[in-house]
Amino acid sequence: MRIGELSGRTGVSQRLLRYYEEQGLLRPVRLTSGYREYREDDVRLVGRIRCLLAAGLNTTTIGTLLPCLRDEDERLVPTCPDTLAELRRERDRISDAIDGLEQSRSMLDTVIGAGTAAGVFHGSAEG
């Protein structure tokens, strides 16, 4: 299938599919005409990529994990021994980022609370 059909079937733009190819996540066959030819399996592969991106993984990490994941009942299942450890490291990284964001929000809440207590205007900055 051509890129337009893959785009239509996955809901992913052609531009993004080309990006996935640049990142080594998709490997379509190149015809002598220069057109990309995708396989039926690429529809599921794009779904896996989208799932992992939504989980907060970057394309480099996804590239290393893709060969070690399979689809089972609409979920991804690890198949390589080191995959769980890598996924746990990624979860820990995301948890650390969440902790940092929660600390930032708390600091902002403190500043906002101090401004509210001081009777500072609500709205755009006035100088």
pLDDT at 13: 97
- Which are the contacts of 40, defined by CB distance < 8 A and separation ≥ 6? 1
Element (H or E) spanning 42, and its range?
helix 41-54
Q: Sorting pLDDT into bands at 50, 70 and 90, what band is 127?
A: very low
- The Cα–Cα gap between 51 and 116 comes to 42
Report whether pLDDT(9) > 50: yes
| pLDDT tens-digit readout, 17-38 | 999 999 999 999 988 998 899 9
pLDDT score of 111 more than 90 = yes
Per-residue pLDDT averaged across 43-62, rounded?
95
Nearest Cα residue to 28 out of 12, 46, 10, 11: 46
Query: Higher pLDDT residue, 82 or 115?
Result: 82
